[in-house]
Amino acid sequence: MVQAINLALHQEMEKDDRVIVLGEDVGKDGGVFRLTEGLVQKFGEERVMDTPLAESGIVGVSIGMALYGLRPVCEIQFSGFSYQNLHQIENHASRLRRRSQGRLTVPMVLRAPYGGGIRALEHHSESREAFWAHIPGLKMVIPSGPRNARALLISAIRDPDPVIFYEPKAVYRAFREEVPEEEETMPLGKSQTVQEGKDITLISYGAMMRPTLEAAQELKEKDQVEAEVIDLLTIMPLDDELFTASVKKTGRALIVHEAPKSFGPGAEIASRIMEKSFFHLEAPIARVAGYDIVIPLFAREDAYLPNVQRIVRAARQVLSS
C-alpha cells in the first residue's frame, strides 16, 4: 500500500501542478512511513513542503491553499495527533461551501495513518473514524488494500470538497497486490462486494478486511457457510444500498471494525439495516469491534483487536439464532 499511495501522489502531481503535499517530514525524509519518498526530488520544495510540528497549522494552511485554488494533500503523521486540527476541520473546512452558499469550496485531502496492529505507542493506534464521519460536509474514506488505496486517493484529490483519508497502517506492508501503472479511480461513497455468498453478510473495512475474509474462508471450510463480504471503502457518505440489499438476500449480518463498539460505525450500519431490511432479518445483527477503552499498548494489543476467531465465533452465533 505504501508504494500504491506513493504512485497516486506522483501521478496526480505530474498531472496537476495545483496538487501540493505538505506535512511533518514529508520532504527530505519521505514521510514517517516513506509514503512521500521521492516527491521533493521530483517536484521541488515549493510543492512538497516540510512543515513545523504543528497539526493545526498544517491543516489551516491547507484550507487557505484550497480556497485560493490549490489542491493540498496534507499528512498528519498519526491519526491520534489529528485532534489538534479538529477546530480547523469542523469550523472551517467542512462548512465553507455552505457558509458561502457554494461560492467557496475546500478541495483538500487530509491523510493520516490510523489503527492498531504495529505495536506502536500511545496516540498512535486509535481508530476514530466516527469523529470525522459525524461532521457534515466531510467525506471519510478508508482503503483496505494497495489497489483501492491508489484509486481512492486519486478520486479524493480530485474531489471538490474536503476528504479525510485514513490509511490502515497495519496494511501498509502486510501484503502485495498488483496495481496497474495506468490510472485508476474509484467513486467515493461506494462500497464493494468482494465475495459473493448467501448465508450471512459480513461488513467491514480497512485493516479488518483481512481477518474478515479469513473468517469467511474458515466458515466455508469448516461450516459449509457461504458468507457475502462487503468492503465499505467510504465511511461517509455510507453506501447503505449495497449492504442492505445483501442482508435482504442473506437475512443475517455481522459488522466488524476495530473502533470502539459503542457509538461506532457498526451502530450506524446496524441501524440502517434495521430501517431498510428489518423484515428480511432472520437473526439479530451482531458486531465484532474494539472495546470501549483506550487501545492498549503492544502487550495487550492483540487482545483488543478483532481477530479471525472472534469473527468466526460471532458469525456462528448469528447463524444459529
Q: Which residues are catalytic?
A: 124
Question: Any idea how long the chain is?
Answer: 321
Contacts of 249 (CB under 8 A, 6+ apart): 198, 201, 228
Instruction: Outline where 138-190 has alpha helix (H).
Output: 146-158
Cα–Cα distance, 206 to 216 (Å, whole number):
16
Among candidate residues 71, 69, 74, 70, the one with its CA nearest the CA of residue 88: 74
Contact 188, 141 (CB under 8 A): yes
The DSSP secondary-structure symbol of 136 reads T
The interaxial angle of helices 209-223 and 308-320, nearest 10 deg, is 50
For every residue of 309-321, DSSP letters joined together read: HHHHHHHHHHHH-
Q: Which three cell numbers stand for residue 285?
A: 445483527
Return the closest-CA partner of residue 3 out of 33, 25, 44, 26: 33
Q: Which of 141, 284, 116, 101 is nearest to 211 (CA)?
A: 116
Q: What are phi and psi of 165, to 5 degrees?
A: -115, 95
Q: Is residue 216 within 8 Å of residue 229, measured between CB atoms? A: yes
